[in-house]
Amino acid sequence: MKHRQQSAFTHQKSARFSGGFTIVELLIVIVVIGILAAIVIVAYNGVQERARASSVSSALSQTAKKIAVWQVDNASTSPTCTQFATELGSNDYDCSFTIGSIDYQYTAGTSGAYCTTATTGTTSYYLNTTTATKPTAGGCAGHGVGGIDPITNLSTNPSIETNATGYSPSAYASIARLTGSPPDGAAYLRLNRSAAGDSYASFTTPTVPSANTAYTLSYWMWADTSVTITDNLIFRVYNNSVCCTNLSSNVGQAVTTTPTRVVMSGTTPATPTSGLQIILRATPTVGQNVYYDGFMVTQGALSYTYAGGSSPGWVWNGTTNNSTSTGPPL
């Protein structure tokens, strides 16, 4: 009798477990699988990153050797973009080109100096005359990094750091460069209404924009007291004194004592013949001040964080503080 009862109990216990896993057991299995999957993904990504780093580092090392050979016959000089592309076997003849899976960017310096960035995927390394034997993670100043193209600020006096060159007041306004603690750099522009009339200051970029192309302007604006600017802030193509094609116009801009970022964007006409012009307005009341700083004019419809040639990873394309500048979006 006792034997039959034990057999029945054993049968019931076996039947209970043969029906499947409990919820707790399933959860444990799922958690373990998730942990293993995460470990595999991290390890795989690490392998991929090391492979990309090895690829661009090797490419840059070969680049340094080719430039060194070129400089044997061209001592104390740097290859031009065309010469650099030719040495690497590209027919693009540009400062930016692609060979296989690697994107190259190149900047020639003086007295044999140079800097080149190689990118594959989101991995960028650079090499210059001081790191010629050891490529370094990142990019040369003025180059795109991590697969993101560089942008150019077309404003040639973006933060009024050295002077107020390029900013012209109307007959009813006055301007001055002031120093202090503005949003960008150590200087900014003051615009004052000196008399009743069309009171403004203008700035025109020297670069003629592309036709039928979006451009975006942004800048900081603030005043001594909260006020509404009754005249239009304008972003336009000046067209060599045959005025004008507006890209954007802000009506009734509210200004406070705290710097506010103003963004204006529009598309150029079919035949632009001169630079993009900014019209900055004074306050409605004679004697009042309004302040401006951190001008950025870029191609495209996106508004970027302010950057100029003195920003991290950026370079001036000419005179410091008085030229266009290029670098990665910040």
DSSP states of 273-290 as a string?
-S-EEEEEE--SSTT-EE
User: Residue 224's closest CA among 193, 185, 186, 249?
Assistant: 193
Q: For residue 140, say if its preceding peptide bond is cis, omega within 30 degrees of 0.
A: no
CA distance 293 to 157: 10
pLDDT of residue 131: 66
CA distance 242 to 229: 26
CA distance 303 to 151: 11
Greatest Cα pair distance, the chain, in angstroms, is 118
Chain segment 99-139, per-residue pLDDT in tens: 999 999 999 988 899 999 999 999 999 999 876 668 999 99
pLDDT of residue 3: 46
pLDDT of residue 34: 85
Q: Does residue 255 contact residue 312 with C-beta atoms inside 8 Å?
A: no
Q: Does residue 274 contact residue 204 with C-beta atoms inside 8 Å?
A: yes
160 Rama class: left (phi>0) / alpha (psi -120 to 50) / beta: left
Q: Which residue has the tokens 């993670």?
A: 137
Which token pair is 310?
A: 């003195």
Number of H helices, E strands in the chain: 3, 20
pTM of the model: 0.80
CA distance 254 to 187: 23
CA distance 113 to 108: 7
pLDDT of residue 12: 46
CA distance 105 to 87: 14
pLDDT of residue 15: 43
pLDDT of residue 132: 65
Phi, psi of 21 (to 5 degrees): -80, 155
Residue type, 325: S
Chain segment 236-265, per-residue pLDDT in tens: 998 866 788 999 999 999 999 999 999 999
List of residues 6+ apart from 54 with CB closer than 8 A: none
Mean pLDDT by 10 residues, the chain (330 residues): 46 49 82 83 70 88 90 90 89 87 92 93 90 84 93 97 97 97 96 96 95 97 96 90 88 95 96 93 95 98 96 95 96
User: Residue 195's closest CA among 174, 223, 178?
Assistant: 174
pLDDT of residue 26: 82
List of residues 6+ apart from 142 with CB closer than 8 A: 107, 150, 313, 314, 315, 326, 327
Phi, psi of 167 (to 5 degrees): -95, 120
